[in-house]
Chains A and B, each alone.
Chain A
Amino acid sequence: MASNVKPRVKVPKSASAGEVVTIKTLISHPMESGQRKDSAGQPIPRQIINRFTCDFNGQNALDVTLEPAVSTNPYFEFDVRVDAAGEFHFTWYDDDGSIYEERKSITLA
């Protein structure tokens, strides 16, 4: 597992039924591209977050495939339709097999 990995998400606390809410997510991660060499000239192996998903009450809202061209500390902004109170589930998948998760609930206003 890469060190210093911390997810951060921004979700409104409440929404009206049927409202489209904007979600922002960021995770601290080096996104080592595999294109670089170390000071000894040896290639530094690729280690990136290769997939990110956001589900709401078990239904998928967004499924992202990341390539090494996504910047360090990957950031995403997208919209989710909220039809009921419930829970967002965010998942980041690391090349090394690590999985980082975050959950946030939302109530109906």
Chain B
Amino acid sequence: MHFTRREALALGLGGITAAALPLPALASKVDDAIAAFTGGATPAEGGVTLTAPEIAENGNTVPIAVDAPGAVAVAVFATGNPETGVVTFRFGPAAGSRMASTRVRLAKTQDVIAVAQMEDGSFARTSATVKVTIGGCGG
């Protein structure tokens, strides 16, 4: 899918509007999405690794990887996208690890959050900041 510059700007402006809102409004959108995944439980920090580039050359294709030993599922959330949810991995009995990689769209520089659901029913989280550059000609 190809975002034109105008569309990318529109997405970016959406982000600015959101940033101008009172903080709880913005926080609640991500928190609500995480709570929907955890059933309201508050995840502990650590126990899940999220690998993402510090700088993404193009926000349309950003490689990310999650790794959470002992997890049954890992969900990824983007705090600065029009829709918060990104991807959820559920590991089955044939899984060889609790690791998975994919490529995602990030509308602008933002924090990406990974939340893991562990076998014992507890939840773990971590986050990473990805700077999305707008190219000169490529952008």
Contact = CB atoms under 8 A, between A and B. Distances in A.
Contacts of A22: 96
Interface stretch (B97-105, B115-123, B127-135): B97-105
B86 interface: yes
A13 to B, nearest CB: 17
A48 B9 CA distance: 22
B94 A61 contact: yes
Interface residues on B, range: 20 to 34
Given A56-B94, A61-B95, A63-B90, A68 B83 contact: yes
Contacts, number: 113
Contact of B87 (A20, A56, A66, A72): A66
A36 interface: yes
B88 A64 contact: yes
A87 to B, nearest CB: 12
Contact of B96 (A21, A36, A65): A21
Interface residues of A, number: 36
A11 to B, nearest CB: 12
A71 B61 contact: yes
A68 to B, nearest CB: 6
Contacts of A33: 1, 105
Interface of B: 1, 3, 7, 11, 60-62, 65, 78, 81-83, 85-97, 99-106
16 contacts: A55-B94, A59-B94, A62-B100, A63-B89, A64-B88, A64-B100, A67-B86, A68-B83, A70-B86, A70-B87, A71-B103, A71-B104, A74-B102, A78-B96, A78-B100, A80-B94
